[in-house]
Structure 1
């Protein structure tokens, strides 16, 4: 009978072998990233639109908040594992920067090219439909990036040692 350590169990549970990452693991990491990005995106779009800002400052705020919330969600789990704040921040930066950047480029690119989406206003179905569509496209295009990163021991793989 083989005794499986918690770490090995975690890897078996997420379905990736030593040689690379599974699509399931990549999708899980991307969903985690999407959560932080979506919170930041929505908050940034709401604040920028409510203040009557133009497209560029609104996108800058949304992107900045997406990074803040993306890193914060990762740090929360790492801090819970007993890691100090500075080290948790370094881990979050290493784990999420590329994933968040790809997601934000795709997400905001889609928002800008959907006719009228950025000018639609918060009460418009067009704004919310375009944002949901943009986040969905960003998710689909970021999963392969995360699969590649995790398969090389980078990206979200950096966080795995701290998951409980």
Structure 2
């Protein structure tokens, strides 16, 4: 227990002094990526399956990415015993910038990739572009999360409730 307390105090101190490792930032980004990928894929699948146009499909995918990103954070904070209102505010503070950057990069690449917006669920281009765009979004968002956590923001806020 003493070792856990010392580790927790060190991690908390590090989050507020700017000494954040890339591993911490990558784990926070992976958490964000998970929610974004679920929402993004589900939105693209729904829009494509129903034959929606590009804009409504992309709007749905982005909305679902935010929904699932926030939901994963809410779930973990609520497990720590935090009330719903506080948990919601923490999730907004922790994830909004990270999800926004991830969605901007992800959807920007899909929109710019020739033929990707017109690919169907059966096309390798659909899944390949989605996978590549999420990987690039992860790479771009990780430094953003490192910067935020180093300033006591982003997922640093979430970790206050886990200890």
The aligned residue for residue 78 of structure 2 is 79
The 3 A distance-change label for structure 1 pair 43 and 139 is same
Distance 1:22 1:108 in 2: 28
- The one-character-per-residue Cα deviations of 1:11-36 (angstroms, maximum 9, x if unpaired) are 6579x565221111100100000000
Q: TM-score, normalised by structure 2?
A: 0.92
- Structure 1: runs of 5+ lacking an equivalent: none
Shift of 1:77: 0.6
Q: Does 1:139 align with 2:138?
A: yes
The structure, 1 or 2, with the larger RCO (C-alpha pairs under 8 Å, 6+ apart) is: 2
The aligned residue for residue 114 of structure 2 is 115
- Structure 2: runs of 5+ lacking an equivalent: none
Greater helix fraction, Structure 1 or Structure 2:
2
Counterpart contact for 2:16–2:151, Cα < 8 Å: no
Q: Does 1:103 align with 2:108?
A: no
Count of equivalent residues: 161
Q: In structure 1, the residue corresponding to 2:109 is in which secondary structure?
A: helix
Q: Does 1:57 align with 2:26?
A: no
Q: TM-score, normalised by structure 1?
A: 0.92
- The one-character-per-residue Cα deviations of 1:77-108 (angstroms, maximum 9, x if unpaired) are 10001111111110100000000000000000
Counterpart contact for 1:63–1:104, Cα < 8 Å: yes
Q: In structure 1, the residue corresponding to 2:51 is in which secondary structure?
A: coil
Distance 1:4 1:79 in 2: 25
Q: In structure 2, the residue corresponding to 1:41 is in which secondary structure?
A: helix
Distance 1:103 1:62 in 2: 12
Q: Does 1:93 align with 2:124?
A: no
Distance 1:127 1:114 in 2: 10
Counterpart contact for 1:11–1:17, Cα < 8 Å: no
The aligned residue for residue 161 of structure 1 is 160
